[in-house]
Structure 1
Amino acid sequence: MVRFVFHNIFRQITRTFLTLAAIVLGVVSLIIVGGFVADIFVQLQENTIHSQLGHIQIYKQGYTTFGRKEPYHYVLEQPEAIAKELAGWHEVSEVMMRLNFTGLANNGRADFPIFGEGVEPDKEARLGTSLAIHAGRQLTDADGFGILLGQGVAKALNLNPGDYVTLLANTPEGALNSIEFQVIGIFQTFSKEYDERAVRIPLSAAQELMAATAVHSLVILLSDTADTDSALHRLGRWLPAETYEIKAWYELADFYRKTVDLYERQFGVLKIIILVMVLLSVGNSVNMAIYERTGEFGTLMALGRRSGDIIKIILLEYALLGLMGSVLGIIIGVVIAYIASGVGIPMPPPPNADMGYTASVRIVPSVILAAFLVGVLATIMAAVLPSRRAAKLQIVEALRSNI
């Protein structure tokens, strides 16, 4: 039967070619679009992690809910001991402390509201590989009273590297404190909203400004993003939930979650469209083929073939056709993905950002598998109804087609 099926597939070369073209186009489209969307997710994920959030952050319980209103009530006790323990974990690359504050930046002529972070500069430099220095240089531990300004802050106050700016903030006792800083650099991240208000100063300077010795968070950088969930689970077993709040980067990145949800839904709609496209294209080809082969099916039934045999022959033919088209589509799709990734796809800034990037098409096994299944199953589904109609033909009427 297999030889007979292959003979039937290649009996009409033109129709077979058109059917294969429809299957290949659908499979290639899914691979290219799926790989492109996957690259968007990965780039957005890594930029989010390596510009602001790290992989995991540890706070005192209640900080994310009430910390903005009462920041000094939600500081970590003995963060150095926790950081020392975490530094020995094999999956942990870096542990850094941060002190968050709000206040005003003054250039001598105007005030501008800011959100500040006291950071450990050298450690943050290793974390912030996606933090682009627009002007000047990166902050270092040697810059005792240096400051990094978000691009929006620098623009609002008309400040450049080498200029001086004064930060004003309230201490825990309610007093107003101020310190003058020299602008070391101006940074830009993937988030325009963050850049509009953010400044970074050394942790020691932030503690002096706030007249405090505490920190609000520990930021953990892992060696591999894939270890996030396992490290999160391990931390949850080690640190008591009633004392500490542990957040993974994807819990803190609201923009990332919404973007992923949007693109996943769009990709789901595209899968349905391609499935329908393949169904219609293959269905039309099957109907034409069965109409032309009515006499053949009548002869087979007259020779003793049953209705079920006719259905099996037709479904096997198009299952093999779907298999060939899907395999060919995967080969072509992977080649196109490699070429596109090698050249690079210039992309404009995404929403809430003003920094473009170069996209690629990733080879994602799950996407390739989904494309393969869509190609094969859509072809088989398109042949089901026509094969049933062929099996219900009256032998006498079908044989007349041979005359």
Structure 2
Amino acid sequence: MTVVKLLKLSLRNLRRNSRRSLITILVSSAGFAALSIFAGYMEFTFYGLREATICKGFTSSSGLGHLQVIRKESLSNSEAYPFEYGLEKYDKLQNEFEKQKYVYRAIPRIEFGGIVSNGEKSVSFLGEGIDPVKESGFIEYWNSLRYMVKEMTMSDSLYVNLQQKKPFSVIIGEGMAKVLNAKEGASLMLISTTVDGAVNVVDVIVSGIVKSNLKAVDEHFLVTHLELVQDLVQTDKVSKMILLLDDTERTAQIRERLSNMKIFDPYVFMPWNKLAAYYKGVSDVYDVIFGFTGLVVIFIVFLSSANTMLMATMERVKEIGTMKAIGIKDHFISIIFIFEGFFLGLMSLLVGFFIKELFSFLVNTMRIKMPPPPGISMNYIMQIFPAYSYMPVIGGLVLVITTLSALVALARIKKITIVESLAYV
């Protein structure tokens, strides 16, 4: 028998019991659509979490950026005094970085800690000194993201207020504001130690109150001017330089290029994903969930397809016996069933793709507002990404499973003798 004849027989057999074939196609297509939709949601979650980590941060006061530049010595040696391995002449270094292709902004930061007080209550803080004009680059980058929706855009008003009320202004977290009973315009005292170990104090005014991503960070969030912090701790250095690129996908490429340049030899370039423990934890959890869900769905698809093939075999026992009686070999009969499974899988993919696209369109159009994840204080708008990179794998699995489900029928076909089949009622 030719391949064309086998294909025709397979398609005719599927039409013989169209109801059962339709049910199998619907079950398999639902499995394909479910996995594709979940993959799209997972891709959206990774994308949103990645860019939020870069622009806003989760374990610090501000975004991590794409690359963080520090001195090599700081990785292997402990500082004898604060800022021993800080970045000197950072203005010149900043200009050199911003000359590089694909580097959108080079942003200096100085990290410091201490106590903030309103005169009656005090709370510890881990703060950062920033350049508000440079930091606003994070807002511009976030709002220009490809999949950004209007409801998730950010305003740079906090940075504008901080810059306008220079130099003795601070931005504090909502949690800290509640503890200190501080409102915008309130006076506070920052108490910290200098590089020589002496205690220094400066009076500041609250220029803004912000709700950060993590509740724990929100209670110790404090940002002020870089120059004010340098005066407070008496240093002309900064802790690190944050590099914001024009595209996250270029991070590895830019890191390698900058690391190989002689002018930047004293520095180490730390990529954002090495610093984002929260992102890695969520990523690992989603990988496990997706793997387990995929196994369950694929198993259901296999059972549905195997049931269809087995029922088709039992209904066509006499037909199989007749085919054997006229000299058609078992492997040709088996190929017919394999083709049937293949066509069931192929039609399932087409229907499943349509279901997935329709569902994704509806969800993305409805702008569903999701509650904050555990430990996070931000709501977000749910989206389903196309996930085209996952679909070939998911589609291949569904196609292979529906095709291999014919093995159940093959085992039965080999056991059927001509005499038994012709006498079968």
Q: Per the shorter chain, which TM-score range? A: over 0.9
Amino acid at match of 1:308: H
Q: For 1:127-138, what aligned pairs fall within 5 Å after superposition?
A: 127-128=138-139, 129=142, 138=160
In 2, are the aligned partners of 1:31 and 1:334 still within 8 Å (CA)?
no
Shift of 1:141: 3.2
Aligned-residue offset at 1:192: 2.5
Greater shift after overlay, 58-67 or 201-210?
58-67
TM-aligned CA deviation for residue 236 of structure 1: 1.9
Distance change >3 Å, CA 107–CA 39, structure 1 → 2: same
Is the Cα–Cα contact under 8 Å of residues 83 and 238 in structure 2 kept in the other structure? no
Aligned match of 2:348 in 325, 341, 353?
325
Q: 1:152 aligns with which of 175, 178, 190?
A: 175
The residue that corresponds to 1:255 in the other structure is: 278
Shift of 1:389: 2.3
Could you tell me how far apart the structure 1 residues matched to 2:12 and 2:79 are? 73
**Alignment CA distance shift 1:385-1:324 (3 Å):** same
2:230 maps to amino acid? Q
Aligned residue number for residue 219 of structure 2:
196
Q: Which amino acid aligns with 1:317?
A: E
Identity of aligned residues (%): 28
8 Å CA contact retained: 2:132, 2:159: no
SS of residue in 1 equivalent to 2:16 = coil
Aligned length: 402
The reply to whether residue 38 of structure 1 matches residue 43 of structure 2 is: yes
Which of 171-180 and 364-373 deviates more? 364-373
What is the CA deviation profile of residues 313-342 of structure 1, one whole-angstrom value per residue up to 9, with x for unaligned ones? 100111011011112101210121111111
What SS does structure 1 have at the residue aligned with 2:260? helix
Query: What whole-Å deviation, never above 9, does each CA across 1:50-94 have from its counterpart, x for those lacking one?
Result: 111111111112536767885422201332232212212221111
Q: Using the alignment, how far apart are the partners of 1:27 and 1:138 within structure 2? A: 49
Q: Label 1:83 to 1:250 Cα distance change in 2 as closer, same or farther (>3 A).
A: same
CA apart distance, 1:5: 1.3
The correspondence for 2:136, drawn from 116, 125, 128, is 125
Of residues 99-108 and 392-401 in structure 1, the stretch that sits farther from structure 2 once superposed is: 392-401
Residue 243 (structure 1) shift:
3.2
Match of 2:95 among 84, 88, 103: 84
Aligned equivalents of 1:99, 1:293: Cα separation in 2: 78
Determine the C-alpha separation between the residues in 2 that align with 1:239 and 1:141.
Answer: 35
Q: CA RMSD in A?
A: 2.2
The TM-score, its normalising length taken from structure 2, stands at 0.89
* 1:56 equivalent in alignment to 2:67: yes
Show the counterpart of 1:98: 109
- Which residue of the partner structure matches residue 161 of structure 1? 184
Task: Note if 1:47 corresponds to 2:69.
Answer: no
In structure 2, what residue type is equivalent to 1:73? E
In structure 2, do the counterparts of structure 1 residues 66 and 184 end up closer, same or farther at CA, with 3 Å as the change threshold?
farther
| Residue in 1 that maps onto 2:32 | 27
1:93–1:222: 8 Å Cα contact kept in structure 2? yes
Letter in 2 for 1:29: A
SS at match of 2:83: helix
Q: What secondary structure is seen at the aligned counterpart in 1 of 2:185? A: coil
Q: Which residue of 1 aligns with 2:205?
A: 182
Secondary structure in 2 matching 1:314: helix
- The yes-or-no answer on 1:141 pairing with 2:149 is no
Unaligned runs of 5+ in 1: none
- 1:370 shift after superposition: 2.4
Kindly state the Cα deviation for residue 356 of structure 1 after the two structures are TM-superposed: 1.4
The whole-number CA distance in structure 2 between the counterparts of 1:158 and 1:217 is: 32
Query: How far apart are the structure 1 equivalents of 2:413 and 2:169?
Result: 81
Aligned to 2:147: none
Displacement after TM superposition at 1:138 (Å): 4.6
For the residue of structure 2 that corresponds to 1:53, the secondary structure is coil
The one of 413, 418, 423 aligned to 1:390? 413
Distance 1:65 1:190 in 2: 31
Task: Indicate if the aligned counterparts of 2:88 and 2:236 stay in contact, CA closer than 8 A.
Answer: no
Query: Conserved in 2, the CA contact under 8 Å of 1:327 and 1:372?
Result: no
Match of 1:108 among 100, 116, 119: 119
The residue identity in structure 2 corresponding to 1:41 is F
Instruction: Specify the SS of the correspondent of 1:218.
Output: strand
Q: How many angstroms apart in 1 are the aligned matches of 2:368 and 2:327?
A: 59
Change (3 A) 1:131 1:98: farther
Gaps of 5+ in 2: 57-62, 143-151
